Amino acid sequence: MNLPTHELIAATLSATSVWLGTRRSPWCYPAGLVSVCVYIWVYLGARLYSEVLLQCIWVGMLVLGWWRWRQHLDSKGHVRIAALDRRSGALHLAAGIGCGLVLGHVMATHTNASLPWLDAQLTALSLIGQFWQNRRHITAWWMWIAVDVVYVGMFVNKHLFVTAVLYAGFVGLAIKGLRDWQKAARNAAAA
């Protein structure tokens, strides 16, 4: 298989994973695991090394998230939503930005990475988004909306058009996830 075929397979699996996440299904995690394994090869070919690093970290985060979600299912098999306090959210966000700056410096000075600063910052903020998602916070969807909008531009710049379209779709799915999770949280509070 060639790079565009790998990219298409990874994009399809990734979209499936996010769609399952909007539905609060723990099956989003196995689909995501397969997707990130394929995306490692795509990003290596595009010299987006922070993205390769991110995909490797995703493997561990997805396993952990799947385990955590399975511990917090409601009677219908959907994950229960948990609140994120502002102080913790601000600390996590600051840590993500700081790690992005450190990673950007490393990539810019020690590799031939393409778009090292942008790629690194998106990587770090994506990790915060996944951390929040693993912990079942609605706020994760806000992070995904912001990060995915910027990712679209980066992938267009790198001529990864299938992935750019995927991330544009992710923006729509993140908006859907935000609305669906907000509705579920309201329904749980009313019950």
Q: One digit per residue, pLDDT tens: the chain, 191 residues?
A: 566 888 889 989 999 999 999 999 999 999 999 999 999 988 898 888 888 988 999 899 999 999 999 999 999 999 999 999 999 999 999 999 999 999 999 999 999 988 999 999 999 999 999 999 999 999 999 999 999 999 999 999 988 888 899 899 999 999 999 999 999 999 988 87
Tell me, yes or no, whether 80 lies in a domain: no
Tell me, yes or no, whether 133 lies in a domain: yes
Query: How far out from the chain centre does Cα 175 lie?
Result: 14
Tell me, yes or no, whether 42 lies in a domain: yes
- Residue 45 · residue 100 · CB < 8 Å: no
Cα–Cα dist 61/39, whole Å: 15
Q: What is the CA radius of gyration of the chain?
A: 16
Tell me, yes or no, whether 110 lies in a domain: yes
Domain with 171, as residue range(s), is 3-75+86-190
Tell me, yes or no, whether 81 lies in a domain: no
Number of domains forming the structure of the chain: 1
Q: Determine the 3-state secondary structure of 79 from DSSP.
A: strand
Whole-model pTM?
0.87
Tell me, yes or no, whether 178 lies in a domain: yes
